[in-house]
Amino acid sequence: MSNAIEIDQLRKHYPGAENTALQGLNLRFKKGIIAGLLGPNGAGKTTTISILCGLVHQDQGTARVFGLDSRQDIIEIKKKIGIVPQQIALYPQLSAQENLEYIGRLYRIPLRVLRMRIAFLLERFGLTANAHKRIHQYSGGMKRRANIIAGLLHEPEMLVLDEPTAGVDVQSRTMILDFLKLYNEEGKTIIYTSHLLEEAERICSDVAIIDEGRLIAQDSPGNLVRQAEGCNNLEEVFLYYTGRTVRE
């Protein structure tokens, strides 16, 4: 099976920042899997995702998505991946329908096709009845679900999600995770970050733990638990590798 993501010796230091965000990160994720990119606060997860989708440029090293270079082939990459950022990337004063039509047109999706996709996804994420409500009137869970739809409109081969279940209730979380599993069963690759390790353990077939901008461990959750001495679950593995010191 070929790789969806290939990252080699990635380095990034934000101008004026105290710490170096990425210090020679090496990482591979295979096509067609649900992969977890895990790490404590400030480990470099968002920076990694931002480089993969061309929002941030690395100082050194290479990042490839389906063999395409994140610096040279970003237009091609953007057609193949859907990004769901940590922050809600929707206009609060517009309705979900208006936001999604606007975003879909940026992808040049024909309006008739776009409206069908929006209707399908709103239904899938339980938002049909609130399609014409403004986003600022949405609950946290509804905003997260609408934010995910925005990343799916162009039917990407890979979905990259930065903490898609942060701060949502169990019902929204279950709906989101069920969708990710279904999308993956259609052959799509899912890469996601989360601080909820029990959740990652449940849905990921491959987990990479990063800390201080480097890869610390990577394997299936089951193998990681077996290999780390005295650990019974992914949370214990995470503490085993990253320690108990609280991060700034």
Point out which residues bind ligand ATP (CB under 6 A).
14, 17, 19, 21, 39, 41-47
CA distance 13 to 164: 26
Which lies closer to ligand ATP via its Cβ, residue 14 or residue 102?
A: 14
Nearest distance from residue 114's CB to ligand ATP, in Å? 31
CB of 194 closer than 8 Å to CB of 161: no
3 state SS of 5: strand
Which lies closer to ligand ATP via its Cβ, residue 44 or residue 151?
A: 44
Nearest distance from residue 21's CB to ligand ATP, in Å? 3
Q: What is the largest CA-CA distance in the chain?
A: 56
Strand 214-219 to strand 206-211: parallel, antiparallel, or no bridges (unpaired)?
antiparallel
Nearest distance from residue 181's CB to ligand ATP, in Å? 23
Element (H, E) at 29: strand 22-30
Nearest distance from residue 29's CB to ligand ATP, in Å? 16
- Whose CA is closest to 4, among 61, 77, 83? 77
Which lies closer to ligand ATP via its Cβ, residue 45 or residue 143?
A: 45
Which lies closer to ligand ATP via its Cβ, residue 37 or residue 180?
A: 37
